[in-house]
């Protein structure tokens, strides 16, 4: 019998499989631990964390779309100190695989400070720097839409940590390759993409935007082709590994994204529709590998040229 090998390696961090629940769709694992044993996951990327605690945007924050949803949560989180004091220890109790720390900020100093703090936490193996949140002003995405500012964040963060740093990029840009390359040149160890697409829905009865903040980030199955395209472009232009993210909901999607160039694959909105989504995708991987004649998942990374 063929043993299907799903393991991958991300900047020296070994993952049993490439599946990582995406930041913002998995909290700090608590809610999902009630459903299943989280240790089946390759890693977990925790909720985007900032220096100060944030309530986030006014509600309604959610708008349903065909094959997806728009969210405008606005980086609600308890703040880096509370995450380190309360959430990380609890996550360590319920999850014993690599943790990806998703860090957001509104200034270079904030990114620096948060990354320096998280650098001291042994259980965090990878830092994912979010320069792509579309739901906050004067921060988040504004750093990720220009090569120079994305590179500057990368340099500042790299200077305060020895952990692998992935920069999470926004698809709401003209030239994703230029930004990814700028991050690579500035020392990034990897690129994660894509964050959500800026979107909007209108309640035609009330003649008002559905979301209080008017616009939000569009995610879900519908954005998968955009994500595959950008993963392909960036993986072909950069030497550093890519974590693919955006609209992944099946094992087949995972393999497609890996063939486009992703070393690991994040599952986002699918977790919100079906709390077992990440687990079910992992369980379905060997069968999909068998169907496609793949023995080692890592052999197909970027195989499509």
- Residue numbers at the binding site for other proteins (CB under 8 A): 24-27, 30-32, 34-35, 47, 55-56, 59-69, 71, 73, 76, 210, 220-221, 269, 271-276
Catalytic residue from among 11, 65, 114, 133: 133
Query: Looking at beta carbons only, is 144 or 216 nearer to other proteins?
Result: 216
Q: What is the DSSP string of 101-129?
A: EEE--SSHHHHHHHHHHHHT-TTEEEEEE
Question: Among residues 216 and 286, whose Cβ is nearest to other proteins?
Answer: 216
At CB < 8 A and 24+ separation, what contacts does 146-152 make?
Answer: 146/179, 147/178, 147/179, 147/181, 147/182, 148/182, 150/179, 150/182, 150/183, 150/186, 151/182, 151/183, 151/185, 151/186, 152/108, 152/186
Nearer to other proteins, 116 or 198 (CB): 198
Distances (CA, A) of 95 to 54, 266, 272: 25, 17, 19
Question: How far apart are CB 64 and other proteins at their closest, in Å?
Answer: 5
Q: Does the active-site annotation cover 114?
A: no
Q: How remote is the C-alpha of 186 from its chain's centroid?
A: 20
Nearest distance, CB of residue 220 and other proteins, angstroms: 6
CA dist 239 → 18, 247, 260 (Å): 19, 24, 14
> Whole-number minimum distance, CB 207 to other proteins, in Å?
16
CA 106, CA 115: separation in Å to the nearest integer?
Answer: 13
Rounded to the nearest angstrom, the gap between the alpha carbon of residue 147 and the centroid of all alpha carbons in its chain is: 19
- Pick between residue 273 and residue 291 the one whose CB is nearest to other proteins: 273
Distance CA 291, CA 285 (A): 10
Q: Which is nearer to other proteins, 121 or 280 (CB)?
A: 280
Least Å distance between CB 272 and other proteins? 4
CB 162 within 8 A of CB 186: no
Minimum distance from residue 23 beta carbon to other proteins (Å): 11
Pairing of strands 208-209, 202-203: antiparallel
Which is closer to other proteins, CB of 161 or CB of 278?
278
DSSP-derived 3-state class of residue 185:
helix
Kindly state the smallest distance separating residue 208's Cβ from other proteins, in Å.
Answer: 13
Helix/strand/coil for 13: strand
Q: Would you please indicate which residues are annotated as catalytic (active-site) residues?
A: 133
């Amino acid at each position: 019998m063929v043993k299907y090998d799903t393991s991958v390696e991300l900047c020296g961090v070994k993952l049993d499989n490439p599946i990582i629940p995406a930041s913002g769709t998995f909290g700090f694992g608590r809610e999902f631990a009630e459903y299943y044993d989280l240790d089946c996951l390759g890693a977990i990327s925790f909720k985007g964390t900032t220096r100060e605690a944030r309530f986030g945007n006014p509600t309604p924050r959610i708008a349903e779309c065909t094959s997806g949803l728009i969210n405008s949560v606005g980086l609600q989180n308890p703040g880096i100190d509370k995450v380190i004091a309360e959430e990380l220890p609890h996550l360590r109790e319920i999850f014993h695989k690599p943790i990806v720390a998703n860090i957001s900020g509104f200034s270079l100093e904030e990114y620096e400070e948060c990354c320096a703090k998280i650098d001291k936490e042994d259980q965090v193996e990878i830092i994912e720097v979010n320069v792509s949140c579309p739901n906050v002003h004067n921060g988040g995405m504004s750093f990720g839409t220009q090569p120079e500012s994305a590179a500057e964040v990368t340099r500042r963060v790299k200077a305060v940590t020895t952990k692998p740093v992935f920069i999470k990029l926004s698809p709401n840009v003209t030239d994703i390759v230029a930004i990814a390359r700028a991050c690579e040149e500035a020392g990034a160890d990897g690129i994660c993409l894509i964050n959500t697409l800026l979107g909007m829905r209108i309640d035609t009865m009330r003649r008002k935007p559905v979301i209080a903040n008017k616009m939000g980030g569009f995610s879900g199955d519908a954005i998968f082709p955009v994500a595959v395209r950008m993963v392909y472009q960036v993986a072909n232009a950069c030497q550093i590994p890519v974590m693919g993210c955006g609209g992944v909901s099946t094992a087949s999607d995972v393999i497609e994204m890996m063939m486009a160039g992703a070393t690991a694959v994040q599952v986002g909105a699918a977790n919100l529709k079906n709390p077992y989504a990440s687990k079910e995708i992992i369980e379905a991987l060997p069968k999909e590998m068998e169907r496609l004649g793949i023995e080692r998942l890592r052999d197909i990374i970027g195989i499509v040229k």
